[in-house]
Amino acid sequence: MKKALLFFIFALVLSSCSKSEAPAPTPQAIVTLSDGSSVSDNVEMTAGNTVKFSAKCDNAQIRRCDWYIDGQLKSVADYLEFSPVQPGTYEIKLIVTAYGESQATVVFSVTVYGPYKSGTYILVEGNMSSDNGSICFVDENGTFYSDPYGQANLNEGRPTSPGNVLQDMFIYKDKAYFVTQNGTSQGQGARLVKCDAQTLKAEKFYTGSIDDETVWPQHIVVVNENKAYIRWSQSGMETTSGIRVMNLATGQWSPESIEGTEGAFTVSGSTKARMLLQGDKVYAPCGQYLKIIDTNTDKVIKTIDFGATRQTKDIAKGHDGNIYMLVSGTFTGGFYSPTYGSEATVVCIKPSGDSYTEKELPAEMQMPVATWSPNVGMCASFTEDALFFRMGTGYSTSVVARYEYKTGTAKKLLDVSGQSGLGFLVYGYLGVDKNDVLYVGTTDYSNSMIGTFDAKTGARLEKTYQIRSGSPAGIDFTYRFSDEYLGRN
């Protein structure tokens, strides 16, 4: 009996030892996000936000988790809360140790973008005497930043400005460029400022040749990291205008305009309006002409003449890939009391060969020809075949028009007069985002009020942005500077 009992105990010990020495299964670990989805190779997020990563293992019990960020141990819990402040790419490594000491490793990257990578810009001019220009931003979540440039560029704890009378912007890759007409006249900024496009931290203030007091820089297209085209008007009375090449590497702004772009304001000189970059060509309205510039040679390779007294107004890329431009009708008499002899038109340009067609607008949609209204703030929808522009021939207007270029249908879309929380006139470039929200800048010359409207119906939407500064230069979108939109390879 004793022998049998001893044999049973011995067998039980052997069985227990056999079980303890069996290899533990390798944990099949994954990392999940708060919504339960699993992480693959890369996660994208915005600086200032927090993402929670959790360890999960279905085939083994987790004893310990070691979370590393760029090689530094940050947590031993079963989750990691990641709240990066600086943009960049971070490596996250998780080592899961199961009971039995078997391990598994999961490695992935997190790309952190600055808060202004994607969204809507509102540029505000300020004024020429006491108020500098400023930049506002609305991100893709609808968060409104009232002064992101100022906050990114503090001086003794106070926000600063990119310069006086902010006019235009352009984004090339990861750099944003802002043009101010009067530069440092109010003690801050420059006529051309280069910033990090995601944080708006200023990196370079261009000075020297661009400070030529005889001209005002007003609009910009950045061709590449070393070259931009900046259109200018003669300072003071804006009697002449043109387009000059800016060497972004050396900071040298050519004293001579690109041949064929300089001349009398609203007649043959560069129109005070945005230029359009498509591939290796820039489309530049110039008085009664459209000039097409080869960006490889900085030469005008084609001129389209719309006839004496007509004026090119604005140009934009349509949803269909074609280029659309507004041109006034002919007129007699002075700029300020014209008698029109023909209707304004919408010009459609095929970028493949630059052929074009024209369609007349209704008589009530004639374009202004006075030098005080050289453009009409036109924008094009990203999602439908529609253009939007300020409607009226006088110095100011409260009306916005919509034109559908496939059908040729034109209509008065909205009137801001009498609307609560808005200024009495529409000012600056309009903008319509990918959600068909139309941003309309208004002003009372002391404040800027940006209303939002349904781009299809003109109905007022909830959001209104109140900016206690000057007048809006215009609305712009990060998407408008993407390689896809600009036709870059």
Dump pLDDT digits (tens) for 52-87: 999 999 999 999 999 999 999 999 999 999 999 999
Residue 14 pLDDT greater than 90, yes or no: no
Model confidence over 228-260: pLDDT tens digits?
Answer: 999 999 998 999 999 999 999 999 999 999 999
Rounded-to-integer distance, Cα 221 and Cα 481, Å: 10
The model's confidence at residue 149, banded by pLDDT at 50, 70 and 90, is: very high
Q: Identify the weakest region by mean pLDDT among 89-98, 127-136, 427-436.
A: 127-136
Report helix, strand or coil for 383.
Answer: coil
Give which of 360, 361, 365, 367 is closest to 331, Cα–Cα: 367
Tally of CB atoms within 10 A around 486: 18
Residue 9 pLDDT greater than 50, yes or no: no
Residue 12 pLDDT greater than 90, yes or no: no
Report helix, strand or coil for 186.
Answer: helix
Residue recorded with tokens 């001086």: 155
Q: What percent of the chain has pLDDT over 70?
A: 95
Residue 19 pLDDT greater than 80, yes or no: no
From residue 104, give the alpha-carbon distance in Å to each of 41, 57, 107, 123.
16, 10, 10, 51
The domains of the chain, with CATH numbers, are 26-113 (2.60.40.10)
Residue 462 pLDDT greater than 70, yes or no: yes
For residue 110, the Cα-to-chain-centroid distance in whole angstroms is 23
Rounded-to-integer distance, Cα 322 and Cα 337, Å: 34
Beta pairing class for 345-350 and 355-360: antiparallel
pLDDT the model gives residue 129? 84
Residue 425 pLDDT greater than 90, yes or no: yes
Average pLDDT over every residue of 460-478: 96
| Range list of β-strands (E), 76-155 | 79-82, 88-98, 103-113, 119-124, 134-139, 144-145
CB 285 within 8 A of CB 313: yes
CB 142 within 8 A of CB 131: no
Rounded-to-integer distance, Cα 386 and Cα 409, Å: 9
Rounded-to-integer distance, Cα 50 and Cα 413, Å: 41
Tokens representing 260 are 């064929």
pLDDT the model gives residue 376? 98
Average pLDDT over every residue of 122-127: 95
pLDDT the model gives residue 13? 41
Rounded-to-integer distance, Cα 222 and Cα 282, Å: 10
pLDDT the model gives residue 395? 87
Q: What percent of the chain has pLDDT over 90?
A: 90
Average pLDDT over every residue of 473-481: 98
Identity at 69, one-letter amino acid code? I
Burial per residue of 188-219, b for 16 or more beta-carbon CB atoms within 10 angstroms, e otherwise: bbbbbbbbbbbbbebeebbeeebeeeebbbbb
pLDDT the model gives residue 21? 52
pLDDT the model gives residue 24? 67
For residue 484, the Cα-to-chain-centroid distance in whole angstroms is 13
* pTM of the predicted model as reported, rounded to 2 decimal places: 0.92
Residue 22 pLDDT greater than 60, yes or no: no
pLDDT the model gives residue 18? 44
Residue 361 pLDDT greater than 60, yes or no: yes
Which DSSP category does 287 fall into?
T
Output 184 or 6, whichever has higher pLDDT.
Answer: 184
Rounded-to-integer distance, Cα 191 and Cα 207, Å: 7
Q: What are phi and psi of 248, to 5 degrees?
A: -75, -20
Give which of 408, 399, 285, 400 is closest to 357, Cα–Cα: 408
Which sign does the torsion angle of CA 213, 133, 376, 446 carry? negative
- Mean pLDDT score of the chain: 94
Tokens representing 452 are 């939002």
pLDDT the model gives residue 102? 92
Rounded-to-integer distance, Cα 289 and Cα 302, Å: 10
Task: List Cβ neighbours of 195 (8 Å cut-off, separation of 6 or more).
Answer: 149, 152, 175, 176, 177, 178, 201, 202, 203
The model's confidence at residue 25, banded by pLDDT at 50, 70 and 90, is: confident
Residue 15 pLDDT greater than 60, yes or no: no
- Would residue 41 be called left, alpha or beta, if left means φ above 0 and alpha means ψ between -120 and 50 degrees? alpha
Compute the half-sphere exposure of residue 450: CA atoms within 13 Å on the CB side of its CA: 31
Rounded-to-integer distance, Cα 65 and Cα 76, Å: 5
The model's confidence at residue 100, banded by pLDDT at 50, 70 and 90, is: confident
Model confidence over 295-349: pLDDT tens digits?
Answer: 999 999 999 999 999 999 999 999 999 999 999 999 999 999 999 999 999 999 9
Model confidence over 441-455: pLDDT tens digits?
Answer: 999 999 999 999 999
Tally of CB atoms within 10 A around 301: 13
The model's confidence at residue 17, banded by pLDDT at 50, 70 and 90, is: very low
Model confidence over 32-52: pLDDT tens digits?
Answer: 999 999 998 899 999 989 999
Output 60 or 13, whichever has higher pLDDT.
Answer: 60
pLDDT the model gives residue 4? 45
